[in-house]
């Protein structure tokens, strides 16, 4: 078993519910953090979901950013353990103004 700790994904949240990280085949992911930052003065609502492979997306976090430069250093209260094909999804009010970083460890 090989463990690789790293930034698993980064980008900006879309205004449609979209996967921001999907666990690769034959891998288990231990997600330790998901950070969010608001780059706009326009209020933003962000919802985060976990979707098990072939399952239904379930809400895990919901945030309202009221001003520019608001941030959430970690949306998780505890680690997420995800199997191959599972995904973390997100949606926000305005596309491309809320950057995210997903950190953790992958076990192949």
Q: What is the pLDDT of residues 72-101, one digit of tens each?
A: 999 998 899 999 999 999 999 999 999 999
Contact 108, 57 (CB under 8 A): no
Burial class, 8, CB count within 10 angstroms (exposed 0-12 / middle 13-18 / buried 19+): buried
Q: What is the pLDDT of residues 36-65, one digit of tens each?
A: 999 999 999 999 999 999 999 999 999 999
CATH 3.30.70.2740 given to domain 3-107: no
Confidence of residue 108 (pLDDT cuts 50, 70, 90): confident
Q: Please report the pLDDT score of residue 68 as a whole number.
A: 96
Burial class, 1, CB count within 10 angstroms (exposed 0-12 / middle 13-18 / buried 19+): exposed
């Amino acid at each position: 078993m090989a463990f690789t700790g790293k930034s698993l994904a980064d980008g900006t949240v879309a205004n449609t519910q979209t996967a921001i990280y999907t666990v690769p085949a034959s891998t288990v992911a231990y997600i330790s953090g998901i950070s969010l930052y608001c780059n706009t003065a326009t209020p933003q609502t962000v919802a985060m979901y976990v979707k098990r492979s072939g399952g239904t997306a379930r809400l895990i976090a919901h945030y309202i950013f009221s001003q520019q430069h608001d941030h959430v250093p970690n949306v998780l209260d505890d680690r997420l353990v995800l199997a191959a094909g599972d995904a973390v999804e997100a949606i926000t009010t305005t596309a491309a103004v809320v950057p995210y970083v997903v950190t953790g460890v992958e076990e192949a």
